[in-house]
Amino acid sequence: MSPTNAPKPLILALSLLLVLVVAAIDWKAMEGIARSYFYVVPICVATWYGGRRFGLCVAVVCSALRFVAHATGTVAAVYGPVVEAVNVSLGLVVYCTVVLLLAKVKTDSDDLEKKVEERTAALLGEIAERKRAEEERRSLAHQLSEAEERERTRLAADIHDSVGQGLSVLKLNLGVLANRNGDNGQPSADWVTSLRLIDEIVNQIRTFTFEIHPAMLEDLGLVPTLHWYGEQFESQSGTQVTVSEYGQRRPLSATLATCLFRAIKELLNNAAKHGRAKEVVIGVHWREDGLRIVLDDDGSGFNPADALAPQTRRGLGLAGMQERLLAIKGRLTVESEPGHGARIILEMSY
C-alpha cells in the first residue's frame, strides 16, 4: 500500500509518532541547534499525504510539544516562558504557512495529474477508436475486393462463353461458306481477310478476359502464371523477365493470389514504362509465416517518398497498391533512388 493510498488515520498516527521523535530530540538538544526546522518534516508528511486539515493539526501539536520541550528540556533556563511562547507562536505561523503552501501545491499537483490521466484516457480511447475504424475499413476493403473479384470472374466467364464461343462458331461457318463459294476450291481474299479479322477479335477477347480475371491462377497457381505472363510481357515489351521460386510452395486463397498477381503486373508495367528497365527479376520466397515477393529492376529509379504519396503518385500507382495490400494485411516496401533502379517487396501472411 503506497502512502498516497493509505488511510488518513494511519497517516495522522505516523505523523504524530514522527512529531514525538522530533520533540524528544528537541527536549534533549543543546542550544545552537535549529530545532524548530525538524518539526517541518512531520508537518510536510501529514500535509502531503493527509491533506490541509491533518497538516494544521500536526502543526498545532508540533508547536505545543515544542513549547513543552523548551520549557522543561535542557535549555529551559536560557529563555523565559514569555520568550518561548512568542517563539512558539511565530513558529506556529510559519508551520501553518508551510501547510497552506504545501496543500496548494499538492492540490495543483493532483489536479494536473487528474487532467493528465483524463487526457491519457481520452487519447487511448481515440487510439482504440481509430484502430477499430481502421480494422473496419480494412475489412470493408477486403469484402469489396472479394466482391469485385467475383464480379470480374462472372464477367470474364460471360464474355468467354457468349462472345468468344459465338465468334468461334461464326469462324467455322464462314470457313465452310468460303470453301463452298471459292474459286477452284480456294476462298477469296475477302473471306481470308474476314477470317483473319475474326481470329484477331478472338485473341483480343482472350486477352481482355485474362485482364479481367486470370483464370490460369485458379488452374495452375501464382508462380506458373507468373512464368507464363513473364514470357508474354517480354515478347510484347522487350523487357527481360526472370521468375525464381524459393522454399516450399503453399496454397493461396483466390483473393490473395489475384491481388498479388495484379500488383506484380502493375509493377512490371511501371518498370518498363516509367523506369525503361531492360531486365526485371522476380523472386518468390515461400516462408513458414508468409510469402515474400521481391522485384528488382535495372531501370531509372525514383524517389520512394514521392511515389508513395497519394497526392504525387506520378502515374506509378504505388500508393493505391499499398492501400490494397494493407486491406488484406499485406505490406509494400520500396527501395529506390533516381538512377539506380528499384526494389519492390511484397509481403503477405498466409
Superfamily of domain 215-349: Histidine kinase-like ATPase, C-terminal domain (3.30.565.10)
pLDDT digits (tens, 9 = 90+) for 204-241: 777 777 777 787 888 889 999 999 999 989 998 999 99
- Mean pLDDT, residues 45-57: 84
pLDDT computed for residue 204 by the predictor: 75
Cα–Cα distance for residue pair 135/2, rounded to 1 Å: 40
The pTM is what?
0.54
Length of the chain: 350
How far, CA to CA in Å, does 337 sit from each of 29, 61, 142, 276, 340? 79, 77, 32, 15, 6
Cα–Cα distance for residue pair 243/294, rounded to 1 Å: 10
- Mean pLDDT, residues 274-296: 94
Cell numbers 461464326 correspond to what residue? 170
- Mean pLDDT, residues 66-88: 66
Tell which wins on pLDDT, 164 or 183. Answer: 164
What are the residue boundaries of the structural domains of the chain, listed by start? Answer: 3-124, 137-210, 215-349
Highest mean pLDDT among 45-54, 71-80, 235-244: 235-244
Give the dihedral sign, CA 76/80/83/86: positive
Tell which wins on pLDDT, 120 or 308. Answer: 120
Q: What is the mean pLDDT of the chain?
A: 79
Contact 47, 96 (CB under 8 A): no
Q: Which three cell numbers stand for residue 249?
A: 510452395
pLDDT computed for residue 308 by the predictor: 75
Least confident of 96-110, 119-133, 203-217, 280-294: 203-217
Least confident of 118-122, 177-181, 229-233, 286-290: 177-181
Cα–Cα distance for residue pair 261/152, rounded to 1 Å: 14
pLDDT digits (tens, 9 = 90+) for 87-101: 778 878 888 998 899
